[in-house]
Structure 1
Amino acid sequence: MGCYHISPTDKGWELRKEGATRPSKTASERSELLDCIGNFMQNRAGTVKVHSEDGSVEQELRYPPARRFHDQASG
């Protein structure tokens, strides 16, 4: 299970696994990383902490997403 961060840099935005020396993905806009994060995390489990321009954590996404109660009940 990994923890990733979408953070601002001096060149745009990056997605970086906690403890990694290089980013997994970079983009000029945060929205570009948010658009592709679902595909990136498809075969991974963990959290993605989305930072704002000032560096504070704005939201935390969990992968795989929690299943809803009615999803668990059906079947």
Structure 2
Amino acid sequence: MPGRNDNGPDKYFGDRAGTDKANYHVVPADGKWALKKEGEEEQMMQENDKSGVVARAKELAEEYGSMAIIHDEDGKIEDQIEY
């Protein structure tokens, strides 16, 4: 397939993971919502209200010129906002 990245996810995320250019993910976590920086296991924040976590993800993504990736309750991506 033309344009396909055959380097796999480790290469795709590896250059950004854990840096300021990393994407910010809003993910379900134990009945709450968490903000995680791409490539890091530890949560940056966790709240009951998804909208607060989404707002923070957008702020960080805009500040660092990356993406806020919003997941649904099943962990599937429902929205991506690129800055």
Is the pair's TM-score, using the shorter chain for normalization, greater than 0.5? yes
Task: Identify which of structures 1 and 2 has the higher relative contact order when contacts are C-alpha pairs closer than 8 Å and 6+ apart.
Answer: 1
Asked whether the 8 Å contact 2:68–2:82 carries over to 1, the reply is yes
Determine which structure has the larger strand proportion and give its number: 1
Partner residue, 1:20: 40
Q: How much has 1:17 moved relative to structure 2? A: 0.7
Superposed CA deviations along residues 55-74 of structure 1, whole A, max 9, x for unmatched, are: 110000112xxxxxxxxxxx
TM-score with structure 1 setting the length? 0.69
Unaligned runs of 5+ in 1: 64-75
Q: Which has the larger radius of gyration?
A: 1
Unaligned runs of 5+ in 2: 1-20
TM-score with structure 2 setting the length? 0.64
% identity of equivalent residues:
25
Determine which structure has the larger helix proportion and give its number: 2
